[in-house]
Amino acid sequence: QVQLVESGGGSVQSGGSLTLSCAVSGDTSSIYALGWFRQAPGKGREGIAAIDPDGRTSYGDSVKGRFTISRDNAKKTLSLQMNRLKPEDTAMYYCAADSGHLRPLYFVNSASFEFRGQGTQVTVSS
């Protein structure tokens, strides 16, 4: 099993920044892709960003140019730097992992991963 624990969520004003972190533990040897997706109340999942072991990334159109995903394979951590936040970014954010050797774009488009954390809330006020 793989465990993912997010941290760093909170409340921020429009235009502000937040950094989300995720600690990955357990049977991590099979993990290939890591990523983030979010879900706002009454809405479906939205893929935010994904990254493969070699650092290749993909982003959702709504966050491209504002968010940056990074991973530290040695420390088994994943981060999401979020800049120029907007009220529409308000959602529960989930760290996720998958063993499939697929391009990061697949995970952004599908927002589907084998494992996910419990989520961390991000609230952006106008």
HEC profile for 28-75? HHHCCEEEEEEECCCCCEEEEEEECCCCCEEECCCCCCCEEEEEECCC
**Model confidence pLDDT, tens digit, residues 70-99:** 999 999 999 999 999 999 999 999 999 999
**Model confidence pLDDT, tens digit, residues 42-64:** 999 999 999 999 999 999 999 99
Short-list 78, 83, 75, CA closest to 94: 78
Question: Residues 118, 9: contact at Cβ < 8 Å?
Answer: no
Quote the pLDDT of residue 16: 98
Q: Give CA–CA dist 32/104, Å, rounded.
A: 10
